[in-house]
Amino acid sequence: MFKNLGKYMFMVELGFKYITIFKKTFFHPFINYKSAYRALSKHRQAYSNKVLEFLNIDVNLIGEVPQHNKVLYAINHRSLLDIIVMENIFYAHKKNGTWIAKQELFDNIFYGKFFQYSGCISVDLESKKGLLSFFKSIKTVLTKVDDMNIYIFPEGERFKGAEIHRFQSGASKIAKANGLEVIPVFIDDKLEKVFANAPYAERYTVDVYMGQAIDSEKLEEEYREFYKLVKKESNK
């Protein structure tokens, strides 16, 4: 009980500290898009690295992160640690980007400001006007920030079952509308259980698989093929 309470208190306290840090960039009167997203990416990465260090978790990347940018990273979603684990990888490879998150996360009274001020882009799936605004925001950011990347969970929300949940259409549409290369990513662990058992007395390692570019027109189909290869490789 106290173990769980301790990590939640640590993450919440650290989160509020970083909201203050994010706000200085988010509300800066003279900063441009590129500088702002670079700064916010570094702040998110710093927060994530501190959480992983507290939980005593390492991240092992299998595959390669593309050297170029303007990439959409399609990632499976099981846990609140997913973003933290991926930010650790993006930190190691000096990547700048933004997460796509549902509007309800921004509206949350406890952690909504963390998403808003850290540079995430919200999408309201229930509003046609909201969707138009969302795609306009994505286009603006990608036009003004030449080293930008998009991070998204195509399943839409955390999936508790085995394998891969059916994808929503958003990831494919974003990639096609903006000419983005799509890189599939699979976090090979049940991170809810990993988080429940953290912090660890000894270092715990999470494996993350990153594949080759897939066709945005066949994103779900080709992601599933990538997933099958990952599971075959991991079961050897």
- Beta-carbon contacts of 219 under 8 Å, excluding residues fewer than 6 positions away, are 74, 154, 167, 171, 172, 175, 182
Read off the pLDDT of residues 160-205 as tens digits, 9 standing for 90 and up.
Answer: 766 788 888 889 999 999 999 999 999 987 888 898 899 999 999 9
* Arithmetic mean of pLDDT, 155-162: 72
For the CA atoms of the chain, what is the radius of gyration?
A: 17
Domains and CATH numbers, the chain: 2-234 (3.40.1130)
Cis (ω within 30 of 0) for the bond into 199? yes
| Location of structure tokens 């916010």 | 40
Q: Is the pLDDT of residue 208 over 90?
A: yes
CA of residue 201 relative to chain centroid, distance: 27
| pLDDT tens for each residue of 6-62 | 888 999 999 999 999 999 999 999 999 999 999 999 999 999 999 999 999 999 999
- Coil, helix or strand at residue 58: strand
pTM flag (> 0.85): yes
